[in-house]
Each structure stands twice: as structure tokens, then as C-alpha cells.
Chain A
Amino acid sequence: MEVFLPIAEVSVNIIAIFSLSGIVGILSGLFGVGGGFLMTPFLIFLGVPPTYAVANEANNILATSVSGSTTHYLKNTLDYKMGMMIVVGGAIGTLIGIYTFTYFKGIGKIDVVISLAYMYILAIIGTAMLVEGLGEIDKARKKIFVKKKLHVHYWIHGLPLRMRFQKSKLYESAFTPIIIGLFVGFIAAIMGIGGAFILVPAMIYIIGMPTKLIPGTSLFVTIFVSIIVTFLHSINYGSIDLILVAMLVAGSIIGVQCGQKIGESVDSTGLKTLLAILLLLVGIAIAYDSFFAEEIIRETTKVDTKNLNSFSQFIKRLSNEVPFLYSLFSIIFAVSLGIAGAFIRRFFSNLRKKYFPKKN
């Protein structure tokens, strides 16, 4: 069942997009990472050009982050002050990232840069997770329990402009979250990912936030970074395709909610190793595609606007004539679906507690 994307000007299989985004959503909900840097390569493999894959996945991440963040807001497990400081850095990092993206696009190397970036990021994350996962399985088998030092002080902890973060019970430099946000924003702009794989370890080991506040705060930061990335990609390149976004968001919101639910009842140590292997396999696939596969010149059938259906024509006109409004609409669309997803999950959760209470 193929559908033509009017902005990306390619045909994609609806079921493939929906199922893949659902599966990636489950993994993302289960582990808290892996949504962006799995889905964007999958979109590229399905034939979506890399620049469109990056922009539309950023819009998708906005929806899933809003969904997850709303759940944490309802549970009051968010440090807004810390989140906003990271967002300040994220905004600057995103602007630098978009500037870098524009430069590489101008010299015609953006596809290569995106492929290489994904290859290396997947290799690094996959290797680190595999080594950590195997180590944990080994220690659990040998029944070795190692007390890790949670706080190790680096140069970053000596920076000025210290402030109190009441919710996290921390007193540290504002530059720490700003610098972390800078890296996250930069990578998010280039690769169309949320940046949780940098943010979460940074929050644990560098900032030293309490664990229960980390997922919610990380999702809160991702909302703002994704909004800026989506807006700038839409304004500068006109690469947001609402039809693709709708398919991605529908699959991933359902997937993320299921993944979070599964994560509450499953020991994820062994699954983390499997995810690491999956990331490495996707990295190998990108490497093969980049270095060895013959360049397949995909025939893009230039469809005359008159031949598109009325909805596709409307989207194309909106994107070309009022890009600012179009980008605002795509952001509001993603945010609304995200909030709706969180409240629907809460509704079903309350319904389940009412009619199927847990027996003590």
C-alpha cells in the first residue's frame, strides 16, 4: 500500500513506515534511547532522501517527547530549571548545527556527512552498550556486585556562575547544563535525533541529577530542541512532509507507550545487549550502503502538481507559500498528538486500575 509524499517526492509503503516506527517506538520506550538514530537510517533505507529523513524524524521525536514528558509532568518528575538551562545551550547548538548542515548541503556533501555521522554514532553507542551489557550479564552470573562512584569531578564542575537547582538538590555552575545542551543541539540538528544518548549519561555522571528526574527532564529538553530543529529545517529547506510525519507519529506514540509499559515489568539487561547488536547491524548496513553498494540512481517521477490529490496539493502549496505557518502547524500537530497520546494512556491505565486492580 504505497503513498506518495508530496514534499519528499517519493512513494513509501504505509504499513512499513507505521510498523517500523511502532517497533522503534517500543525500543525507545523500553530503553529511553534509540528512537532517532534507528528510525532515520530506516527511513533512508526505505527510500526517503536523508535530508527529508532527518527533518521529519525530528518532528516525530517532538511528538514522542511531548507524550513522554506529559506523563512525567503528571507524575511531577521534572526539573524545569535544569531543563531550561540545557535548552539554552541546545538552542545555540542547534543554530550552529543548522549552519553546518547548510554548509555541507551547499557543497553537496550532506548525504555523505549524515551517513558517516550515523555510522560512527551507531558504532560508538552499539560498542559501548554491548560491552556494558555483556559485563553486566557476566557480573550477574558470577554474583559480583561493584560499588560504582557516582560523582567524579572534572574541570566542568569548577566553572563559575553557580546556581541552586532546588528540585534536583544541586548547587552547580549553569555552564555545565549549557555546554551539554550545546552538544545535544548540534547533533540533533545534523542527525535529526533527540540526543538522549548524550543527555542521559551526562545528567547521571556529569551533572549528577537524581535518577528519577532524568527521563522526564531529558524528554522536556528534547521537546524544545526538536521544535527548533523542525522549525529551522522547515523554514530553510522546506523538508517537513506532514503525511510522513503523521505515519511516523501514529506508530511511534503507540510504540513508546507500549515500550514504557513493558519496561516496567521486564529486566532489560539482556535486552540491552540485543539492542546493542541491532544498532551495530544497522551501522553495518549503513556502512555497506555508503562504501560498497553501487550508487542507485533512484528515478524520481516528477509528479505534476495537478496530478496530486487535493490534500497533497494543499500540503505542497502550504509548504511553498507560507513556510512559517506550515512549520508552526507541523509543530502544533506533533505536540497535540503527543499530549493526546499521554492522556489516552493515562485514561486506559486508570480504567485498568479501576476494573482490574492488582491483588496484594
Chain B
Amino acid sequence: MPDLIKKIPLEIKKNKIKTSIFLGLFAYWGLIIVGTFVQFQ
């Protein structure tokens, strides 16, 4: 597990495009799920 955590910055540097797509999708899903909860309150 510590090895995996150490490898993360290297992986992010190697795959900037994939990381940004992943973060973009994460933000998108977060937005719509939070928005749905707010909408129904």
C-alpha cells in the first residue's frame, strides 16, 4: 500500500491527460449527485 501511494505522483506525471479526464469526470458526477440532493431538500 505505501508503495502504491508513492507511485501515485509518478503516475499522474506520466498520464496527465488520463488524470485530468478522471478528475473532470469525478467533479461532474460530484456536481450532479450533490445538485440532486440539494434539489430535493
The one of A112, A120, A130, A134 that contacts B32, using a Cβ cutoff of 8 Å:
A120
Complex alpha-carbon distance, A134 and B35, angstroms: 28
Contact with B along A81-122 (1 / 0, CB 8 A): 000000000000000000000000000000010001001100
A123 and B18 contact, Cβ closer than 8 Å, known pairs A116-B36, A291-B39 = no
Query: A280 touching B28 by the CB < 8 A rule?
Result: yes
By the criterion CB–CB under 8 Å, are B18 and A287 in contact?
no
Binding site of B, secondary structure by majority: helix, strand, loop or mixed?
Answer: helix
Q: Which residue of A lies closest to B24 (CB)?
A: A280
Closest to B40 in A: A112
Q: Is the CB of B21 within 8 A of A134?
A: yes
**A/B interface sample: 12 pairs, CB < 8 A:** A112-B39, A119-B32, A120-B32, A123-B28, A123-B32, A130-B21, A134-B18, A280-B28, A284-B28, A284-B31, A287-B32, A291-B39
B interface residues with partner A (beta carbon < 8 Å): 18, 21, 25, 28-29, 31-32, 35-36, 38-39
Q: Which of B18, B21, B28 contacts A283 (CB 8 A)?
A: B28
- Shortest distance between the CB of B24 and any CB in chain A (Å): 8
Chain B residues within an 8 Å CB radius of A119? 32
What string of 1s and 0s marks CB contacts (under 8 Å) between A112-156 and chain B?
100010011001000100100010000000000000000000000
Q: Write out the residue numbers on chain B whose beta carbons fall within 8 Å of the beta carbon of A290.
A: 35, 39
Interface residues of A (CB under 8 A from B): 112, 116, 119-120, 123, 127, 130, 134, 280, 283-284, 287, 290-291
> What are the residues of chain B within 8 A of A287 when measuring CB–CB?
31-32, 35
Q: Is the beta-carbon distance between B25 and A283 smaller than 8 angstroms? A: no
Chain A CB within 10 Å — which of B18, B21, B31, B38 has the most? B31
**Residue numbers in A under 8 Å from B25 (CB-CB):** 127, 130, 280
How far, in whole Å, are A152 and B29 apart by their CA atoms in the complex? 29
Which B residues touch A123, using CB under 8 A? Answer: 28-29, 32
Chain A's nearest CB lies how many Å from the CB of B23?
Answer: 13
Most interface-central of B21, B28, B32 (chain A CB within 10 A): B32
A283 engages B32 (CB within 8 Å): yes
A123 to B34, CA, bound (A): 14
Min distance, Cβ B19 to any Cβ of chain A, angstroms:
12
A303 CB to closest chain B CB (Å) equals 33
**Which residues of A are found within 8 Å of B38, using beta-carbon distances?**
291
Chain A positions within 8 Å of B36 at CB level:
116
